[in-house]
A = this chain, B = another copy of it.
Amino acid sequence: MTSRVADILTAEPLKKQQVALARERLDALIACSPENVGYGLGYFVPSQKIPIRKRQFFTIMTADGYATALVASVEYNEAKSRALITDIRPYNEFTQDPAAVLADCLRELGVANGHIGVELDFLPSRTFLALQKELPRAHFVDAERIFDHVRMLKTPEEIDLLRRCGRTVDEVYREVLPEAHPGMSETDLALRLIDRLLSKGVDSVDRIVIGSGERSAFANCPPTRRILCDGDVMRLDIFASIGGYTSDIARTAVIGGATDEQKRIWDALVEGENLVIDMIRPGVHTGEIWRRYVDHYQQKLGIEPTSNFLGHAIGLTLHEEPFIGRYHDHVLEGRTVLAVEPLYFTPTMGLHLEDELIVGADGCELISDGRGPLIEIG
Protein backbone atom coordinates (compact mmCIF):
# COMPACT_ATOMS: atom_id res chain seq x y z
CA MET A 1 0.00 0.00 0.00
CA THR A 2 1.62 3.17 -1.18
CA SER A 3 0.51 6.73 -1.58
CA ARG A 4 2.89 7.69 -4.37
CA VAL A 5 0.97 9.81 -6.83
CA ALA A 6 2.26 8.02 -9.89
CA ASP A 7 0.54 4.89 -8.67
CA ILE A 8 -2.84 6.54 -8.46
CA LEU A 9 -3.64 7.05 -12.11
CA THR A 10 -7.15 8.32 -11.56
CA ALA A 11 -6.15 10.86 -8.95
CA GLU A 12 -6.04 14.01 -11.09
CA PRO A 13 -6.25 16.31 -8.04
CA LEU A 14 -3.07 14.77 -6.61
CA LYS A 15 -1.24 14.99 -9.93
CA LYS A 16 -2.17 18.65 -10.32
CA GLN A 17 -0.85 19.41 -6.84
CA GLN A 18 2.33 17.56 -7.76
CA VAL A 19 2.84 19.82 -10.77
CA ALA A 20 2.21 22.90 -8.64
CA LEU A 21 4.74 21.72 -6.06
CA ALA A 22 7.43 21.44 -8.71
CA ARG A 23 6.57 24.78 -10.32
CA GLU A 24 6.66 26.60 -6.97
CA ARG A 25 9.82 24.72 -5.88
CA LEU A 26 8.15 23.57 -2.69
CA ASP A 27 9.18 20.53 -0.68
CA ALA A 28 5.64 19.96 0.58
CA LEU A 29 2.14 21.29 0.11
CA ILE A 30 -0.39 21.09 2.94
CA ALA A 31 -4.15 21.49 2.57
CA CYS A 32 -6.32 22.17 5.60
CA SER A 33 -9.52 23.84 4.34
CA PRO A 34 -12.63 21.72 3.70
CA GLU A 35 -12.45 22.32 -0.04
CA ASN A 36 -8.76 21.57 -0.49
CA VAL A 37 -8.72 18.59 1.85
CA GLY A 38 -11.87 17.42 0.05
CA TYR A 39 -10.20 17.96 -3.30
CA GLY A 40 -7.21 15.83 -2.35
CA LEU A 41 -9.23 13.07 -0.71
CA GLY A 42 -11.89 12.95 -3.41
CA TYR A 43 -14.78 13.76 -1.04
CA PHE A 44 -15.70 16.35 1.57
CA VAL A 45 -14.93 15.12 5.07
CA PRO A 46 -18.29 15.35 6.88
CA SER A 47 -16.80 16.74 10.09
CA GLN A 48 -15.39 19.62 8.04
CA LYS A 49 -18.55 20.20 6.04
CA ILE A 50 -20.93 20.25 9.03
CA PRO A 51 -18.57 21.77 10.44
CA ILE A 52 -17.19 20.43 13.71
CA ARG A 53 -14.45 23.00 13.95
CA LYS A 54 -12.36 21.45 16.66
CA ARG A 55 -11.50 18.56 14.35
CA GLN A 56 -8.69 19.45 11.99
CA PHE A 57 -7.77 17.61 8.80
CA PHE A 58 -4.72 17.82 6.57
CA THR A 59 -3.51 16.41 3.30
CA ILE A 60 0.24 16.55 2.71
CA MET A 61 1.97 16.13 -0.64
CA THR A 62 5.74 16.05 -0.95
CA ALA A 63 7.91 16.98 -3.92
CA ASP A 64 9.00 13.37 -4.35
CA GLY A 65 5.41 12.29 -4.91
CA TYR A 66 4.14 11.04 -1.60
CA ALA A 67 0.64 11.84 -0.37
CA THR A 68 -0.72 11.34 3.13
CA ALA A 69 -3.69 12.57 5.14
CA LEU A 70 -4.16 13.25 8.85
CA VAL A 71 -7.71 12.78 10.10
CA ALA A 72 -9.43 12.99 13.48
CA SER A 73 -10.00 9.33 14.31
CA VAL A 74 -13.81 9.49 14.11
CA GLU A 75 -13.45 10.03 10.35
CA TYR A 76 -11.00 7.17 9.86
CA ASN A 77 -13.50 4.52 8.72
CA GLU A 78 -14.89 6.69 5.96
CA ALA A 79 -11.49 8.01 4.84
CA LYS A 80 -10.04 4.52 4.70
CA SER A 81 -12.93 3.42 2.54
CA ARG A 82 -13.22 6.41 0.20
CA ALA A 83 -10.10 8.56 0.00
CA LEU A 84 -7.90 8.87 -3.11
CA ILE A 85 -4.95 8.86 -0.70
CA THR A 86 -4.20 5.46 0.82
CA ASP A 87 -1.89 6.57 3.64
CA ILE A 88 -4.52 7.82 6.10
CA ARG A 89 -3.30 8.54 9.62
CA PRO A 90 -5.84 8.94 12.41
CA TYR A 91 -5.12 11.06 15.48
CA ASN A 92 -6.95 11.42 18.78
CA GLU A 93 -8.76 14.75 18.78
CA PHE A 94 -8.80 14.91 22.57
CA THR A 95 -5.22 14.02 23.45
CA GLN A 96 -3.15 15.02 20.44
CA ASP A 97 -2.42 18.53 19.21
CA PRO A 98 -3.00 18.51 15.44
CA ALA A 99 -0.01 20.85 15.00
CA ALA A 100 2.26 18.34 16.76
CA VAL A 101 0.86 15.45 14.71
CA LEU A 102 1.42 17.44 11.54
CA ALA A 103 4.96 18.40 12.57
CA ASP A 104 5.81 14.75 13.30
CA CYS A 105 4.53 13.76 9.91
CA LEU A 106 6.55 16.48 8.13
CA ARG A 107 9.69 15.36 10.00
CA GLU A 108 9.10 11.77 9.00
CA LEU A 109 8.66 12.82 5.38
CA GLY A 110 12.00 14.64 5.57
CA VAL A 111 10.65 18.10 4.78
CA ALA A 112 10.81 19.70 8.24
CA ASN A 113 13.51 22.14 7.14
CA GLY A 114 12.07 22.77 3.71
CA HIS A 115 9.78 25.14 1.86
CA ILE A 116 6.24 24.21 2.82
CA GLY A 117 3.07 25.59 1.30
CA VAL A 118 0.22 26.06 3.80
CA GLU A 119 -3.21 27.65 3.49
CA LEU A 120 -2.60 30.71 5.66
CA ASP A 121 -6.05 31.99 4.71
CA PHE A 122 -7.60 29.05 6.57
CA LEU A 123 -5.13 27.49 9.00
CA PRO A 124 -6.11 28.64 12.51
CA SER A 125 -3.54 30.98 14.03
CA ARG A 126 -3.04 28.74 17.04
CA THR A 127 -2.12 25.78 14.84
CA PHE A 128 0.27 27.86 12.76
CA LEU A 129 2.00 29.34 15.81
CA ALA A 130 2.48 25.84 17.25
CA LEU A 131 3.73 24.52 13.90
CA GLN A 132 6.30 27.31 13.65
CA LYS A 133 7.49 26.45 17.15
CA GLU A 134 7.71 22.74 16.33
CA LEU A 135 9.57 23.32 13.06
CA PRO A 136 11.73 26.42 13.58
CA ARG A 137 13.77 25.77 10.44
CA ALA A 138 10.83 25.31 8.09
CA HIS A 139 10.02 28.07 5.63
CA PHE A 140 6.25 28.46 5.28
CA VAL A 141 4.76 29.82 2.07
CA ASP A 142 1.16 31.03 1.68
CA ALA A 143 -0.52 28.46 -0.56
CA GLU A 144 -3.92 30.06 -1.16
CA ARG A 145 -3.00 31.17 -4.68
CA ILE A 146 -1.49 27.77 -5.45
CA PHE A 147 -4.69 25.91 -4.57
CA ASP A 148 -6.86 28.51 -6.35
CA HIS A 149 -4.79 27.92 -9.47
CA VAL A 150 -4.79 24.13 -9.14
CA ARG A 151 -8.60 24.09 -8.92
CA MET A 152 -9.31 26.80 -11.50
CA LEU A 153 -9.33 24.88 -14.78
CA LYS A 154 -11.75 22.02 -14.47
CA THR A 155 -11.34 18.48 -15.78
CA PRO A 156 -14.08 17.04 -18.04
CA GLU A 157 -15.36 15.08 -15.01
CA GLU A 158 -15.59 18.22 -12.87
CA ILE A 159 -17.33 20.09 -15.69
CA ASP A 160 -19.80 17.24 -16.07
CA LEU A 161 -20.72 17.39 -12.37
CA LEU A 162 -21.14 21.18 -12.50
CA ARG A 163 -23.21 20.93 -15.69
CA ARG A 164 -25.50 18.25 -14.28
CA CYS A 165 -26.01 20.14 -11.06
CA GLY A 166 -26.62 23.52 -12.70
CA ARG A 167 -29.01 22.11 -15.29
CA THR A 168 -31.01 20.35 -12.59
CA VAL A 169 -31.34 23.58 -10.62
CA ASP A 170 -32.44 25.49 -13.73
CA GLU A 171 -35.07 22.83 -14.50
CA VAL A 172 -36.34 22.85 -10.92
CA TYR A 173 -36.78 26.64 -10.96
CA ARG A 174 -38.80 26.32 -14.19
CA GLU A 175 -41.06 23.71 -12.66
CA VAL A 176 -41.49 25.00 -9.13
CA LEU A 177 -41.68 28.79 -9.47
CA PRO A 178 -45.00 28.60 -11.37
CA GLU A 179 -46.38 26.61 -8.42
CA ALA A 180 -45.64 29.48 -6.01
CA HIS A 181 -48.58 31.64 -4.97
CA PRO A 182 -49.49 34.42 -2.56
CA GLY A 183 -50.26 33.00 0.89
CA MET A 184 -47.52 30.38 0.87
CA SER A 185 -44.47 30.91 3.05
CA GLU A 186 -40.86 31.13 1.96
CA THR A 187 -40.30 27.84 3.82
CA ASP A 188 -43.15 26.13 1.91
CA LEU A 189 -41.50 27.16 -1.31
CA ALA A 190 -38.04 26.06 -0.11
CA LEU A 191 -39.46 22.66 0.74
CA ARG A 192 -40.84 22.20 -2.77
CA LEU A 193 -37.50 23.21 -4.25
CA ILE A 194 -35.57 20.81 -1.99
CA ASP A 195 -37.99 17.98 -2.76
CA ARG A 196 -37.69 18.46 -6.52
CA LEU A 197 -33.89 18.95 -6.41
CA LEU A 198 -33.28 15.74 -4.46
CA SER A 199 -35.81 13.81 -6.57
CA LYS A 200 -34.03 14.90 -9.74
CA GLY A 201 -30.65 13.76 -8.54
CA VAL A 202 -28.66 16.43 -6.74
CA ASP A 203 -26.73 14.91 -3.83
CA SER A 204 -27.22 17.71 -1.41
CA VAL A 205 -29.08 21.00 -1.08
CA ASP A 206 -26.54 23.03 0.80
CA ARG A 207 -28.49 26.27 1.02
CA ILE A 208 -31.63 27.76 -0.45
CA VAL A 209 -31.67 31.55 -0.32
CA ILE A 210 -35.15 33.06 -0.32
CA GLY A 211 -35.74 36.66 0.62
CA SER A 212 -39.14 38.21 -0.05
CA GLY A 213 -40.24 41.80 0.52
CA GLU A 214 -37.54 43.90 2.14
CA ARG A 215 -35.48 40.76 2.74
CA SER A 216 -34.90 40.55 -1.02
CA ALA A 217 -32.15 43.08 -0.22
CA PHE A 218 -30.36 40.64 2.11
CA ALA A 219 -27.45 38.97 0.33
CA ASN A 220 -27.76 35.28 1.24
CA CYS A 221 -30.67 34.96 3.65
CA PRO A 222 -32.32 31.62 4.38
CA PRO A 223 -36.09 31.18 3.96
CA THR A 224 -38.38 32.10 6.86
CA ARG A 225 -42.09 31.61 7.69
CA ARG A 226 -42.80 34.96 6.03
CA ILE A 227 -45.93 34.71 3.85
CA LEU A 228 -45.61 35.81 0.23
CA CYS A 229 -47.85 38.83 -0.42
CA ASP A 230 -48.89 40.74 -3.50
CA GLY A 231 -46.27 43.28 -4.41
CA ASP A 232 -43.35 41.38 -2.85
CA VAL A 233 -40.13 41.10 -4.73
CA MET A 234 -38.66 37.64 -4.03
CA ARG A 235 -35.04 36.78 -4.66
CA LEU A 236 -33.89 33.14 -4.76
CA ASP A 237 -30.48 31.52 -5.02
CA ILE A 238 -29.76 27.78 -4.90
CA PHE A 239 -26.52 26.20 -3.73
CA ALA A 240 -26.96 22.48 -4.38
CA SER A 241 -24.23 20.01 -5.21
CA ILE A 242 -23.42 16.81 -7.04
CA GLY A 243 -20.21 15.02 -6.09
CA GLY A 244 -19.26 18.07 -4.02
CA TYR A 245 -19.50 20.50 -6.99
CA THR A 246 -21.90 23.34 -6.34
CA SER A 247 -24.51 25.33 -8.20
CA ASP A 248 -25.00 29.08 -7.84
CA ILE A 249 -28.07 30.14 -9.81
CA ALA A 250 -30.37 33.00 -8.82
CA ARG A 251 -33.83 34.07 -9.89
CA THR A 252 -36.16 36.93 -9.04
CA ALA A 253 -39.94 36.88 -9.05
CA VAL A 254 -42.58 39.44 -8.15
CA ILE A 255 -45.73 38.30 -6.36
CA GLY A 256 -48.70 39.70 -8.25
CA GLY A 257 -47.82 42.09 -11.06
CA ALA A 258 -44.40 43.69 -11.38
CA THR A 259 -44.25 47.47 -11.73
CA ASP A 260 -43.02 49.03 -14.96
CA GLU A 261 -39.96 50.24 -13.07
CA GLN A 262 -39.15 46.70 -11.86
CA LYS A 263 -39.56 45.35 -15.40
CA ARG A 264 -37.31 48.08 -16.78
CA ILE A 265 -34.56 47.23 -14.25
CA TRP A 266 -34.92 43.51 -14.91
CA ASP A 267 -34.66 43.95 -18.66
CA ALA A 268 -31.46 45.93 -18.15
CA LEU A 269 -30.04 43.06 -16.06
CA VAL A 270 -30.96 40.55 -18.78
CA GLU A 271 -29.29 42.74 -21.40
CA GLY A 272 -26.28 42.96 -19.11
CA GLU A 273 -26.07 39.18 -18.99
CA ASN A 274 -26.43 38.99 -22.78
CA LEU A 275 -23.57 41.42 -23.18
CA VAL A 276 -21.35 39.28 -20.94
CA ILE A 277 -22.28 36.04 -22.70
CA ASP A 278 -21.42 37.62 -26.06
CA MET A 279 -17.98 38.64 -24.82
CA ILE A 280 -16.94 35.47 -23.04
CA ARG A 281 -14.29 33.39 -24.76
CA PRO A 282 -10.75 32.28 -23.94
CA GLY A 283 -8.36 35.24 -24.07
CA VAL A 284 -10.80 37.97 -23.11
CA HIS A 285 -9.89 40.19 -20.13
CA THR A 286 -12.47 40.12 -17.34
CA GLY A 287 -11.66 43.80 -16.72
CA GLU A 288 -12.88 44.59 -20.23
CA ILE A 289 -16.13 42.69 -19.60
CA TRP A 290 -16.64 44.67 -16.41
CA ARG A 291 -16.07 48.01 -18.15
CA ARG A 292 -18.59 47.19 -20.88
CA TYR A 293 -21.08 46.12 -18.23
CA VAL A 294 -20.59 49.37 -16.29
CA ASP A 295 -21.21 51.41 -19.45
CA HIS A 296 -24.38 49.47 -20.13
CA TYR A 297 -25.58 49.75 -16.50
CA GLN A 298 -25.00 53.50 -16.42
CA GLN A 299 -26.71 54.00 -19.74
CA LYS A 300 -29.79 51.94 -18.88
CA LEU A 301 -30.12 52.52 -15.14
CA GLY A 302 -28.34 55.82 -14.68
CA ILE A 303 -26.09 54.62 -11.85
CA GLU A 304 -22.97 52.57 -11.22
CA PRO A 305 -23.61 48.84 -10.67
CA THR A 306 -24.77 48.32 -7.08
CA SER A 307 -22.41 45.36 -6.66
CA ASN A 308 -18.63 45.40 -7.07
CA PHE A 309 -18.59 42.17 -9.01
CA LEU A 310 -20.51 40.60 -11.82
CA GLY A 311 -19.29 37.03 -11.83
CA HIS A 312 -16.97 34.44 -10.41
CA ALA A 313 -15.90 30.89 -11.03
CA ILE A 314 -17.54 28.01 -9.17
CA GLY A 315 -16.42 24.51 -8.31
CA LEU A 316 -16.08 22.87 -4.92
CA THR A 317 -16.87 26.31 -3.46
CA LEU A 318 -19.13 29.16 -4.46
CA HIS A 319 -16.66 31.94 -5.07
CA GLU A 320 -13.54 30.88 -6.92
CA GLU A 321 -11.01 32.59 -9.13
CA PRO A 322 -11.31 34.22 -11.59
CA PHE A 323 -13.75 37.00 -10.71
CA ILE A 324 -15.34 39.47 -13.12
CA GLY A 325 -15.58 42.70 -11.18
CA ARG A 326 -14.47 46.23 -10.50
CA TYR A 327 -11.14 45.22 -9.01
CA HIS A 328 -10.25 42.23 -11.15
CA ASP A 329 -8.55 41.74 -14.45
CA HIS A 330 -7.91 38.20 -15.52
CA VAL A 331 -7.49 36.59 -18.93
CA LEU A 332 -10.21 33.95 -19.25
CA GLU A 333 -9.21 30.40 -20.14
CA GLY A 334 -11.20 27.46 -21.40
CA ARG A 335 -12.47 24.91 -18.88
CA THR A 336 -13.44 27.65 -16.45
CA VAL A 337 -17.00 27.39 -15.13
CA LEU A 338 -18.47 30.78 -14.27
CA ALA A 339 -21.52 32.16 -12.52
CA VAL A 340 -22.55 35.52 -14.01
CA GLU A 341 -24.81 37.62 -11.83
CA PRO A 342 -26.18 41.02 -12.76
CA LEU A 343 -27.65 42.56 -9.63
CA TYR A 344 -29.68 45.59 -8.65
CA PHE A 345 -29.85 46.27 -4.93
CA THR A 346 -31.39 49.09 -2.91
CA PRO A 347 -31.50 48.93 0.91
CA THR A 348 -35.01 47.42 0.67
CA MET A 349 -35.13 45.55 -2.65
CA GLY A 350 -32.90 43.17 -4.58
CA LEU A 351 -33.24 42.00 -8.18
CA HIS A 352 -30.85 39.22 -9.09
CA LEU A 353 -30.26 37.18 -12.22
CA GLU A 354 -27.54 34.55 -12.05
CA ASP A 355 -26.64 31.91 -14.59
CA GLU A 356 -23.78 29.49 -15.05
CA LEU A 357 -21.70 28.90 -18.14
CA ILE A 358 -18.67 26.96 -19.28
CA VAL A 359 -15.91 28.84 -21.10
CA GLY A 360 -15.28 26.79 -24.24
CA ALA A 361 -12.86 26.96 -27.14
CA ASP A 362 -14.70 29.73 -28.97
CA GLY A 363 -17.40 31.13 -26.75
CA CYS A 364 -19.38 29.65 -23.96
CA GLU A 365 -21.89 26.95 -23.20
CA LEU A 366 -24.80 28.10 -21.05
CA ILE A 367 -25.62 25.69 -18.24
CA SER A 368 -28.69 27.61 -17.08
CA ASP A 369 -30.76 30.39 -18.60
CA GLY A 370 -32.93 32.76 -16.60
CA ARG A 371 -33.03 35.49 -19.24
CA GLY A 372 -36.80 35.56 -19.74
CA PRO A 373 -39.14 38.36 -18.69
CA LEU A 374 -39.31 39.17 -14.95
CA ILE A 375 -41.27 36.30 -13.40
CA GLU A 376 -44.68 37.25 -12.00
CA ILE A 377 -46.40 34.91 -9.56
CA GLY A 378 -50.13 34.51 -8.83
Contacts and interface: CB of A to CB of B under 8 A. Distances in A.
- Contact count band on A: 35 or more
Q: Which of A49, A73, A126, A323 has the most CB of B within 10 A?
A: A126
Interface string A52-63: 111000000000
Interface stretch (A6-14, A172-180, A197-205): A197-205
Contacts of A217: 77-78
Interface in A264-317: 307-309, 317
A259 interface: no
A68 interface: no
Nearest to A35: B53
A64 interface: no
Interface stretch (A19-27, A219-227, A353-361, A363-371): A219-227
Contact of A125 (B94, B124, B198, B218): B124
Contacts of A221: 46, 78
A128 interface: yes
Interface in A123-149: 123-129, 142, 144
Contact of A92 (B124, B194, B308, B347): B308
Interface of A: 33, 46-47, 49-50, 52-54, 73-75, 77-78, 80-81, 92, 94-95, 118, 120-129, 142, 144, 187, 190-191, 194-195, 198-199, 203-204, 206-207, 209, 214-215, 217-222, 224, 239, 307-309, 317-319, 323, 325-328, 345, 347
21 contacts: A46-B219, A46-B221, A47-B219, A50-B206, A52-B317, A52-B319, A74-B220, A75-B219, A77-B218, A78-B215, A78-B217, A78-B221, A94-B327, A120-B125, A120-B126, A121-B124, A123-B124, A123-B125, A187-B198, A191-B198, A191-B199
Given A78-B217, A191-B195, A194-B194, 17 more contacts: A47-B219, A50-B207, A50-B220, A52-B317, A52-B318, A53-B121, A54-B121, A94-B323, A94-B327, A94-B328, A120-B125, A124-B124, A125-B125, A125-B127, A125-B128, A126-B142, A128-B128
In the A-B complex, the 10 residue pairs with the smallest Cβ-Cβ separation, listed nearest first, are A46-B220, A125-B128, A78-B218, A120-B126, A94-B327, A74-B219, A120-B125, A77-B217, A123-B125, A125-B125
